[in-house]
Amino acid sequence: MSLDPRPQPLDHLVLRGDGPASALILREGSLSYDTLNLRIGLLAHWLTTLGLQHGDRVATWLPKNETTCLMPLAAARAGMVHVPINPVLKRAQVAHILADSGAKLLITGRTRQSTLIEGDVPHACRTLDDDEAMAAWKAGEEALETSSHDPSDLAAILYTSGSTGKPKGVMLSHANMWLGAISVAGYLGLDASDRTLCVLPLSFDYGQNQLLSTWAAGGTAIPLDYLMPRDVVKSCVRHGITTLAAVPPLWTQLVEIEWPDEAAANMKRLTNSGGALSPALVKQLRGIFPQARIFAMYGLTEAFRSTYLDPDLIDANPTSIGKAIPFAEIMVVNDAGEDAAPGVEGELVHAGPLVAQGYWQDAERTAERYKPAPAFSTYGGMAVWSGDRVRRDEEGLLYFVGRRDAMIKSSGNRISPAEIEDAATSTGLAAEAVALGIPDPQLGQAILLLVRPAAVPRPEQLVDDLLIAMKRDLPAFMLPKIVELRASFPKNPNGKIDRALLVAEVEDRYK
């Protein structure tokens, strides 16, 4: 497909498909591109009838149903900003996102809504049940036509965890999301015959792009909320899936399942992000899908996607994260601020039109991560200084070395240690807590929680009580796998917990 660098309003993506072709397949049925475009218009117009203004934030906290799939384009068409909330999050995270984003509308289901308590939803935010809302907008008689919004307008805020503090909102423009869809569809070689199984959360940039890149190519997207990995296999058989995206922990589970010949035969490409594919896992995927192209990718929400490895090179270079994707300029900057020579470690810096607009209402953290591009940059302008250390070989292939910050990467999720620690101490059972990532063959990293107990009436049950209490406020992927009790923590000269010393100790024990 054409890699035209000129972005358009995001809702124009659905105009690229063939009218009668299937664009979206849900449990309730299939939507052609014509119907998809109509329903996006109906939903967009309905939003305007609620008293919402241009730039207002609209949040969804839902499974992968029709509202969730259409809202990114419907909100964009209406001139509003979509705030998708991961359906596995609990009320504490949801309350933070609603308050931080200043959402004026939350659409969710009755069960999730019942978990919220007074004060979780800001007074200025209206909450609507999804079933009732969907019935209302589908019954509408007026649909908004495709928009003419400025591609630089804000279209979405995606919340991502940082190494400190609560989740922060990354601001994405129409142009960021449009060019991301065109770029991925282009280098994956997607076309109208492709059928993408969307198993990743649509609240993630990687997950949302499953829809957008498929629609950019005129293909068919099939969203799936799976309970067991076997559900993924069954859906691949049922829908003749050609494109499957996952993170390493899911791939590890999928290769342990028997795949029917017809499922494997239809598969044209597998894509991976959220952690590195091991050489052993690549070999296992090759054995099941011998004809499929395997795309290893690296990305960060602050700039969407940065690199991909040409599938023809993955067997010889299984640990490489590849080269820049279309519309991205990727630099390796050494400690002197210069272009790092081949083989020299440096910081990965991403420039170009995929760079997001910064963190929502957080100038301080924006200034820490978004800085002027190096003098040798081709694009120039503002760049994302990732904090990730990489090196480039003589052929220009990039290799990930490590993370500068304390982020925990588990099951493809970026997890803030501070958020876990706050949840532990807020129970009243932990006087101090430190969350660290340790190697785990299934998860990539598992969460180790070190705890200095508070004075509690049942010290012998502290660990069990702590996990039960944390489970009420944290989603499953943020719960510690191991809890260790400490009488005290080492402190640095500033009186703060010496994390570096703890990390070194833990690395020695969990190699």
DSSP per residue, 212-281: HHHHHTT-EEEE---SSHHHHHHHHHHHT--EEEE-HHHHHHHTTS---HHHHHH--EEEE-SSPPPHHH
Q: Is 358 exposed, middle or buried (0-12, 13-18, 19+ CB in 10 A)?
A: buried
Say what the pLDDT of residue 456 is: 81
CA dist., res. 393 & res. 413, Å (int): 28
Which residues touch 261 (CB under 8 Å, ≥6 apart)?
Answer: none
Say what the pLDDT of residue 113 is: 96
Say what the pLDDT of residue 493 is: 56
The tokens describing 305, both together, are 């996607």
Domain membership of residue 17 as a residue range: 8-174
> CA of 486: how far to CAs of 418, 454, 490, in Å?
18, 11, 10
Q: Is 248 exposed, middle or buried (0-12, 13-18, 19+ CB in 10 A)?
A: buried
Start-to-end CA span in the chain (Å) = 45
Q: Clarify whether residues 246 and 339 are in a common domain.
A: yes
Q: Clarify whether residues 98 and 160 are in a common domain.
A: yes
Helical residues (DSSP H) of 51-173, grouped into ranges: 66-77, 91-101, 110-115, 130-138
Q: Clarify whether residues 20 and 94 are in a common domain.
A: yes
Contact indicator for 270, 129 with CB cutoff of 8 Å: no
Q: Clarify whether residues 419 and 389 are in a common domain.
A: no
Distance of CA 129 to the CA centre of its chain: 25
Per-residue exposure over 329-342, b if at least 16 CB sit within 10 Å of its own CB, e if not: bbbbbeeeeebbee
Parallel, antiparallel, or unpaired for β 382-392 and 370-372? Answer: antiparallel
CA dist., res. 81 & res. 468, Å (int): 36
Confirm whether 184 is domain-assigned: no
CA dist., res. 29 & res. 353, Å (int): 36
Q: Clarify whether residues 39 and 85 are in a common domain.
A: yes
Say what the pLDDT of residue 153 is: 98
Say what the pLDDT of residue 405 is: 64
Q: Which residue has the tokens 């869809």?
A: 181
Confirm whether 2 is domain-assigned: no
pTM of the model: 0.87
Q: Clarify whether residues 398 and 413 are in a common domain.
A: no
Boundary-marking domain end, from 138, 159, 174: 174
For residue 382, the domain's CATH number is: 3.40.50.12780
The tokens describing 421, both together, are 């620690």
Q: Clarify whether residues 497 and 448 are in a common domain.
A: yes
Biggest alpha carbon distance in the chain? Answer: 68
The tokens describing 187, both together, are 């280098």
Boundary-marking domain end, from 174, 194, 216: 174
Confirm whether 457 is domain-assigned: yes
DSSP state of 460: G
Confirm whether 356 is domain-assigned: no
Neighbour tally for 117: CB within 10 Å: 9
Whether the CA torsion 414, 281, 270, 395 is positive or negative: it is positive
Contact indicator for 68, 202 with CB cutoff of 8 Å: yes
Boundary-marking domain end, from 388, 405, 422: 405
Confirm whether 482 is domain-assigned: yes
Whether the CA torsion 300, 301, 307, 313 is positive or negative: it is positive
Confirm whether 206 is domain-assigned: no
Say what the pLDDT of residue 432 is: 85
CA dist., res. 162 & res. 362, Å (int): 13
Confirm whether 211 is domain-assigned: no
Q: What are phi and psi of 33, to 5 degrees?
A: -65, -35
Which residues touch 426 (CB under 8 Å, ≥6 apart)?
Answer: 473
Q: Which residue has the tokens 């308050």?
A: 99
For residue 468, the domain's CATH number is: 3.30.300.30
pLDDT lower than 70: segments of the chain: 1-2, 19-20, 162-165, 403-406, 492-496
Confirm whether 212 is domain-assigned: no
Say what the pLDDT of residue 467 is: 96
Q: Clarify whether residues 379 and 308 are in a common domain.
A: yes
Say what the pLDDT of residue 19 is: 63
Q: Clarify whether residues 244 and 314 are in a common domain.
A: yes
What single letter denotes the amino acid at residue 154? L
Which residues touch 464 (CB under 8 Å, ≥6 apart)?
Answer: none
For 346-377, give the DSSP string: EEEEEESTTS---BTT-HHHHHHHEEEPPTT-
CA dist., res. 74 & res. 246, Å (int): 26
Beta bridge partners of 339: 333
Q: Clarify whether residues 433 and 398 are in a common domain.
A: no
Side-chain half-sphere of 469: how many Cα atoms within 13 Å? 17
Say what the pLDDT of residue 446 is: 94
Q: Clarify whether residues 478 and 505 are in a common domain.
A: yes
CA dist., res. 226 & res. 58, Å (int): 26
Contact indicator for 115, 91 with CB cutoff of 8 Å: yes
Q: Clarify whether residues 288 and 327 are in a common domain.
A: yes
CA dist., res. 294 & res. 289, Å (int): 9
If one counts the domains in the chain, the total is: 3
